[in-house]
Structure 1
Amino acid sequence: MATAELTINPEDLSQVPPSNLRIPEPTVVVIFGASGDLTKRKLLPALFHLEQAGLLPKEFAIVGVARRPLGNEFAEDMRNGIVEFGSVPATDAKLEEFAKKIHYFAMNFDDAAAYSRLKTELDSVAKQHGIGGNRLFYLSVAPEYFTEIISNLGAQNMAKPTDGSVRAVIEKPFGHDLESAKELNRHVNSVFAERQIFRIDHYLGKETVQNILVFRFANGIFEPVWNRNFIDNVQITAAETLGVEGRGPFYEKAGALRDVVQNHVMELLSFVAMEPPMSFESQSVRLEKLKVWQSIPPIAMENIVRGQYGPGSIKGEAVPGYRQEDRVDPNSQTETYAALKLGIDNWRWAGVPFYIRAGKRLAKRVTEITVQFKQPPMLIFNRGGVGDCGPIQPNVITIRIQPDEGISLRFGAKVPSTQSMAVCPVTMDFDYAKAFGKSTANGYERLLLDAMLGDQTLFAHRDGVETTWALYTPVLDAWANKKPQTFPNYVAGSWGPDCADELLAKDGYTWRKL
């Protein structure tokens, strides 16, 4: 299998350790939108981490493409970004040599003639570094430029491999509803074959997300009880303390459902709910994920709620409401919070509710999955609670995605006493940083490496993108036709609107306290 496991060496607390698995062929990585924060903060530090680990080929180069005339400033700026955001010492022996592989090309993305010059520049860079025809195009641009760039790459014959492989990594959002996703897929597939396309979701680069499959399928004790006979409900939370951070125009068009739920959260749900794949190969994993999404019935509008934050405080600091954010409509109807109930109509999950919530300006930054098990058929111990222990609580497995990656198990244990059988909840906890050492790997390492290797396991397929959009587009249409009357309906720094609590209360549940 053409992948590399990016395990963390406790002796090296900062980087990805060396691997004896396959290294990509010599490649030119071309980053469109390279002057943006993603390149400096994530992509270049990730590529350098791979260089430190010996996972990049010797013949390798990076070409940043953007509008601004940066010239040689670009390589120096990226070098500084690697040091600052990649926790790399400025004196690292490999840094200077790596910086020599960084190039820049200024152009407007809608200038068709510029793509001919770009092609000449890429051929020149490839020749300079001893690289053949392998290209990895990374589209770190606003969605409105996707089709423009892809069309021009096709027109200049840069999308079809001649003496190497050509692949394209496309950032989200991949469409804003079902029809736009279908149209974008049609356009992309008219230029690139599906095997060349890597629709990236950075959540899938996180170690804990990948570890969901290991947790379930590499251990014999969990999978036998991972079904409707033993599991009572599942909760998935994706909470942020941040607001829109200057991205008002983008978020006005997106909202929480498009920005987080349709992509990140649905990926997490699929890993929790999927059947065992035949192997950890892209086709097998993608097929099982698709089966989960296809098994979700249409979302009833009474099972989904939305919210928008008003002024409040985060960690004691006053913050504005969404409508007071920069470049946001003062009468905006965009949701910054969404909560919903899903079902999965298959043999494993029939009758088990999946509750999802995602929002901005909440009380805590946390992404986690909570699997709550059913209570024993008869509670023979302290049903009403004894002493400091309340009623016996259900067993819970919690998978923490961020910020403190780990897995915990809650179960009941007898309190030491010679007079009672008081049972209190205790927790067994696995913490990634404590077990394997702290790492500054940001998740893009694995994804960039897999893209260069041609492994699509952790990337979205067009069928999956369209299936999840088909689930949420009716909700978005209904919301567009019926504006909320109560926005803003939660205070910044809280856990969201009251209607989210009511959504679970009608089933007899509450959100897990985080």
Structure 2
Amino acid sequence: MVSRVIPVDPFDLVIFGGTGDLARRKILPGLFRRFCAGQMEEDSRIIGAARSDMDSEEYRHFVREAITEFDPKTKGECAHLDEFLTRLHYVTIDALGETGWAELAELTRSDKVRAFYFSVAPRLFGPLAERLHLHGMADGESRIVVEKPFGRDLESARALNKVLAEHFEENQIYRIDHYLGKETVQNLMAIRFGNMLFEPLWNSQYVDHIQITVAESVGVGGRGGYYDRAGAMRDMMQNHMMQLLCLIAMEPPAKFNPDAVRDEKLKVIRALDPVREEDIVRGQYEGTEDLLGYRREAENPESTTESFVALKAHVSNWRWANTPFYLRTGKRLRERASEIAIVFKDAPHSIFDEDAGRHRNILTIKLQPNEGIELGVTIKEPGPGGMRLIDVPLDMSFAEALGPEEADFPDAYERLIMDVIRGNQTLFMRGDEVEEAWAWTDPIIAQWEDDAVPPIRYATGSSGPDDALMLMHRDGRRWREIKA
């Protein structure tokens, strides 16, 4: 099997915040890998724009060091690194003033696709959009890429949508969620809608419940200041987890195009019931002798911000009536592991003795770190000891099934940036989708703030608070083990 690399049209990509951490770690190394793969046409350019006072040659040196340090696949050893660096330019710019804007407008004056990546603080999104429009860079071939957080509540998300809409059309705005760029996440749609085997069973008649887990083994680290203002609900549940739920629960779109897919995702969010207070657990990790606890990492000894959330949600429509969705996400858990598990119901009648045990089919989509799909099936245990049943996995690790080269997937940012250049918004959130997600999330956060009840403390390296285990135990179910 040979994957095809299809070059994109020539483009100018301007990275606002081009000297920042995200640009160094993800955006620039990702663009370099796309260049090495032959996906960038000869006259495509990458323009860094930031407050730092440097020229283009100094910026190329900066990018060389970033690629060497943060490119895990090539380690900067692509033979074309010098050639890639010639595509780079730099403009010193003031997002809130006039410095650099005339130079940027002149530099990007062409018939090529123009994309502007807002890798900056959210408070600068509006001013950047305004100045791009003012200086004639918001025409029909221009696109803006907006990083999260897209607001911190419904009110701020609406205000930001309004500001961006004053300068750009909705089809020019790309609200990026890197989780949607993961190969396995995209495979959710292929699994569901490309296989007759699963779609007839993908409903409340056959599915007992669904678990979505995004677990991290690290703490907040250097992001303590930001994270303490956001928390797990805003940082993960409102966007990443919501998107995974939508892809699992959505109806088949009429066509595989951006608005058809996003229309169906929007219907899922609107069908979500409010979460009852007893169906949600929030926690905060404690420290050990070797690792700081959350409050010390966040440098806030009185912090009541959650680093863990588990909840039970219901999608009130015909497909999913009475089928619970259990979602959990947290930091400093046992392993770094993300998966979606579709747990099917028991057979309506078992012909086997009770000694055979209780067995269920489980379809597991593994998102990280080992991407793949696993289907648990029940078979007879080998041997002459009678009819004893065991569960075994039909396991498709992408690395094994496709070979190491084919399974060496592009990073999510690589894929998503190329989609921006193509003008494909399928994997990006629409404005109304963002607002509806906040409308569902806001009452939960407001209740926490009104109650002023601190999150439950949980041990580093655990599966989270014991109350999260009880969330499922009282329903006669249990969380799947967190393991890589």
TM norm structure 2? 0.95
Mapping of 1:2-81 within 5 angstroms? 9=2, 18-19=4-5, 21=6, 23-71=7-55, 72-81=57-66
What residue number does 2:473 align with?
Answer: 505
C-alpha change, 1:431 and 1:419, in structure 2 (3 Å) is closer
Give 1:89 deviation, angstroms.
5.6
Give 1:228 deviation, angstroms.
0.6
In 1, Cα distance between equivalents of 2:80 and 2:254 = 40
Residues 16-62 of structure 1 show CA distances to partners (whole Å, capped at 9, x for unaligned) of x543x4x4332110001111222122112222222222222221101
Residues 108-165 of structure 1 show CA distances to partners (whole Å, capped at 9, x for unaligned) of 3222344233323434xxxxxxx5353100001111211121122222222124xxx1
Give 1:73 deviation, angstroms.
2.7
Maintained 8 Å contact 1:306/1:336: yes
Give 1:75 deviation, angstroms.
1.3
C-alpha change, 1:89 and 1:255, in structure 2 (3 Å) is closer
In 2, Cα distance between equivalents of 1:29 and 1:460 = 20
What residue number does 1:358 align with?
Answer: 329
Maintained 8 Å contact 2:282/2:456: no
What residue number does 1:342 align with?
Answer: 313
In 1, Cα distance between equivalents of 2:367 and 2:294 = 26
In 1, Cα distance between equivalents of 2:39 and 2:93 = 31
Q: Which amino acid aligns with 1:33?
A: G
What residue number does 1:320 align with?
Answer: 292
Mapping of 1:351-500 within 5 angstroms? 351-385=322-356, 391-436=357-402, 437=404, 438-439=407-408, 441-485=410-454, 487=455, 489-500=457-468
Give 1:248 deviation, angstroms.
1.5
SS at 1:154 equivalent: helix
What residue number does 1:3 align with?
Answer: none
Maintained 8 Å contact 1:233/1:352: yes
In 2, Cα distance between equivalents of 1:417 and 1:338 = 44
Maintained 8 Å contact 2:339/2:368: yes
Maintained 8 Å contact 1:18/1:53: no
Q: Which amino acid aligns with 1:186?
A: K
Maintained 8 Å contact 1:373/1:395: yes
C-alpha change, 1:252 and 1:434, in structure 2 (3 Å) is same
SS at 1:312 equivalent: coil
Maintained 8 Å contact 1:392/1:425: no
In 2, Cα distance between equivalents of 1:228 and 1:488 = 33
Give 1:417 deviation, angstroms.
2.7
The answer to which of 34-43 and 261-270 deviates more is: 34-43
Maintained 8 Å contact 1:43/1:444: yes
SS at 1:112 equivalent: coil
Maintained 8 Å contact 1:41/1:81: yes
What residue number does 1:181 align with?
Answer: 157
Maintained 8 Å contact 1:382/1:392: no
TM norm structure 1? 0.89
Maintained 8 Å contact 1:392/1:424: no
In 2, Cα distance between equivalents of 1:439 and 1:302 = 42
In 1, Cα distance between equivalents of 2:52 and 2:450 = 41
Match of 1:293 among 269, 286, 289: 269
Maintained 8 Å contact 2:220/2:227: yes
Give the number of equivalent residue pairs: 477
Maintained 8 Å contact 1:27/1:60: yes
In 2, Cα distance between equivalents of 1:308 and 1:148 = 36
What residue number does 1:13 align with?
Answer: none
Give 1:302 deviation, angstroms.
1.7
Give 1:398 deviation, angstroms.
0.5
What residue number does 1:134 align with?
Answer: 113
The answer to which of 65-74 and 183-192 deviates more is: 65-74
Match of 2:179 among 181, 196, 203: 203
Gaps of 5+ in 2: none
Q: Which amino acid aligns with 1:373?
A: F
C-alpha change, 1:29 and 1:474, in structure 2 (3 Å) is same
Q: Alignment RMSD, CA only?
A: 1.7
In 1, Cα distance between equivalents of 2:77 and 2:333 = 40
Residues 324-343 of structure 1 show CA distances to partners (whole Å, capped at 9, x for unaligned) of 11x53110011101111110
Maintained 8 Å contact 1:66/1:106: yes
Maintained 8 Å contact 1:412/1:424: yes
In 1, Cα distance between equivalents of 2:177 and 2:332 = 22
In 2, Cα distance between equivalents of 1:352 and 1:419 = 37
SS at 1:246 equivalent: helix
